[in-house]
Amino acid sequence: MANATFELAKTDRSKCAFSGETISKGSPRVGFEIWRVGRRCMTYQTPGAFLSRLALSVAEDGRSKCKLSGDSITKGALCVAFTTGGAKGETPTKQSCLLSKAAPFIAEVAKGSGKSVKVDKLVGFKALPSTNQKAVAQLLTVKASKGGSVKRPLAAIDHPISKKARRA
């Protein structure tokens, strides 16, 4: 899944892989590559469907790779599964990713679609140890708020006005 995208639909031809509903031209959509019938193809879904199907877990072994970054997943690492498919009765496809690598993408989808990520409502969150729950909350909350309007103290901004204020 080297190609995960969040974009506005270019045409009216794409359908949500989860619900089967048409994604209107200009509407936000989440897409990523999967293997279907022996070949790679791009599949799309609405941001709401994508966010509602995220599943958290802790890696049980170190035998797989993050589908988003290609990095090795080590035993005990926090992971998130991206799920797509199921609209036509097929078995949904799950792509396992390192949460640390996927958090910026999840935040981009949430911010760009106007949806929120309720960390405590994610599948698998309550089964995680409390230390991992805190790490998940920090990763997804901090990453989601960085893109917005972050208020910084005036002295921290390298701006001519703030330099005058510091001299006075």
Strand partners for 58: 78
Q: What is the pTM of this model?
A: 0.80
Among the residues of the chain, which ranges form H helices? 47-52, 99-113, 130-146, 160-167
Domain count along the chain:
1
Domain that holds residue 144: 4-167
Q: What is the pLDDT of residue 128?
A: 96
**Neighbouring C-beta atoms of residue 136, cutoff 10 Å:** 21
| pLDDT tens, position by position, 136-161 | 999 998 444 444 433 334 343 344 44
Q: What is the pLDDT of residue 18?
A: 94
Q: What is the pLDDT of residue 87?
A: 86
CATH number of the domain that residue 108 is part of: 3.30.1740.10
% of residues, the chain, pLDDT over 90? 65
